[in-house]
Structure 1
């Protein structure tokens, strides 16, 4: 019989609207995303909040869309040197707080959880080299036509991926918000429609981070 992993408050890394994120208790290279119980959901009155209450199955749909997008991109790029712009996903695991999605931990040099773009902008610590890493990730989203529906600053993490016992180079990784989760999956209808959606998401990201976005070069820069 499988034993559920025991997750405690001390393992908690982040808590969003839909999911709580925990450190894996036995593997520092992994994180576990757990869908919050319905009773812990905030009472939101926007479209997504109303849909969560009227059709609770939409919460499961978002997870399914995330995995579908990850699989689509990875299956299109079986080459061993392909570097996915989003975090790798490793299936599901049973925990004491619910079914968890197992994903990679993009880590700092000391093994801690990497900093988000939002944290770096708030602290004023985003370096020019890290801005280049962000632009590399944005470029990869366009080149590989990744359907990313939520490019908010807290979904980009700067850090290192684990390759066995070795940490790779610093990267900027989209750790959440990918998958065409819209009620009408427009971004899945064509690459050009997805490009329009990505460009619009980048404009919003610029507003939320106080960065400059150039739609022609598809790059961010400091003011």
Structure 2
């Protein structure tokens, strides 16, 4: 298979370690590329291991963008994921965007958050990088939404704890509870800023 060519016109977003590009041959997919040099946590490898571990356990992935493996690009090895799209094919907005712009009522937000919490707890899924920008609010029907996780799964780094959280339910449940508390603090801060008409400190 020939090497996929990526350029700045395909860039969707850039995080601390990875850049996310639209797949030039399939606009329903994105490609995540490591761009940092030297020491890094290799989030591509972490997510690939974690999502495949979930698949092996036949976990419900209905609130996660699926992963399709590695491909070769002109910018290095990339990891292919589903692109977050609404029912009408339009790009999905981040949950932070929806909160900041008051597109959803507080009641609607709380309902979606509770659905996500139950999903994570039921399926023992680790959402560790709890930024609201890692959650997208997908419109699955007209004015009907669900939250999907596009980034931040599994662990922030390789190591014994990553293995532990994947193999021992007690530790997994503990980590889920701990990270959820962090997420709710972030969410409450964003709600307060939205009420005051202020933008979030970081990207939408």
If the length of structure 1 is used for normalisation, what is the TM-score?
A: 0.72
- Corresponding position of 1:28: 27
Q: Does 1:59 align with 2:41?
A: yes
Residues 5 and 24 in structure 2, CA contact (< 8 A), matched pair in contact too: yes
Q: Which runs of 4+ in 1 moved over 4 A?
A: none
Cα displacement string for residues 156-195 of structure 1 (whole angstroms, at most 9, x for unaligned residues): 112268xxxxxxx743111111113444415335222222
- Corresponding position of 1:142: 121
- Corresponding position of 2:94: 116
Aligned residues: CA RMSD: 2.6
* SS of equivalent to 2:41: helix
Matched positions, count: 184
Gaps of 5+ in 2: 191-204
CA distance in 2, matches of 1:103, 1:73: 15
Residues 41 and 156 in structure 2, CA contact (< 8 A), matched pair in contact too: no
Residues 28 and 111 in structure 1, CA contact (< 8 A), matched pair in contact too: no
If the length of structure 2 is used for normalisation, what is the TM-score?
A: 0.78
User: Alpha-carbon deviation of 1:115?
Assistant: 0.9
- Corresponding position of 2:196: none
* SS of equivalent to 1:118: helix
Q: Does 1:132 align with 2:114?
A: no
Which residue, out of 167, 175, 186, partners 2:150? 175
User: 1:26 and 1:189, CA in 2 relative to 1: closer, same or farther beyond 3 A?
Assistant: closer
User: Alpha-carbon deviation of 1:113?
Assistant: 2.3
Cα displacement string for residues 35-79 of structure 1 (whole angstroms, at most 9, x for unaligned residues): 1141xxxxxxxxxxxxxx5xx3x533x32221222112122227x
- Corresponding position of 1:49: none
The 5 A counterparts of 1:62-81 are 62-77=43-58
- Corresponding position of 2:166: 188
User: Alpha-carbon deviation of 1:33?
Assistant: 0.5
Residues 180 and 188 in structure 1, CA contact (< 8 A), matched pair in contact too: no
Residues 74 and 84 in structure 1, CA contact (< 8 A), matched pair in contact too: no
- Corresponding position of 1:7: 6
